[in-house]
Amino acid sequence: MAFNKKEEFSAKEQSLAAFTKAISHPARIAILNVLAKKNECICGEIVDVLPLAQSTVSQHLKELKMAGLINGTVDGPRSCYCINWKAFEKFNSDFNSLFEKLKEVNAKCC
66's contact among DNA, a second copy, none, with CB below 5 to 8 A by partner kind, is none
Burial class (CB in 10 A: 0-12, 13-18, 19+), 24: exposed
- Max Cα separation, the chain? 58
66: contact with a second copy by CB under 8 A: no
Q: Does 80 bind a second copy (CB under 8 A)?
A: yes
Q: Is 76 in the site for a second copy (CB under 8 A)?
A: no
Q: Which of 5, 55, 76, 77 binds a second copy (CB under 8 A)?
A: 5
- State which residue, 67 or 87, has the beta carbon closest to DNA: 67
Query: Does the protein bind DNA through residue 109 (CB under 7 A)?
Result: no
Q: Which are the contacts of 21, defined by CB distance < 8 A and separation ≥ 6?
A: 67
Report the distance separating Cα 23 and Cα 27, nearest Å. Answer: 9
CA–CA separation, 30 and 36 (whole Å): 10
Can you tell me whether residue 84 is helix, strand or coil?
coil
Q: Which residues bind a second copy (CB under 8 A)?
A: 5-6, 8-10, 13-14, 16-17, 20-21, 23-30, 32-33, 36-37, 39-41, 51-52, 71-73, 75, 80-85, 88-89, 98-99, 102-103, 105-110
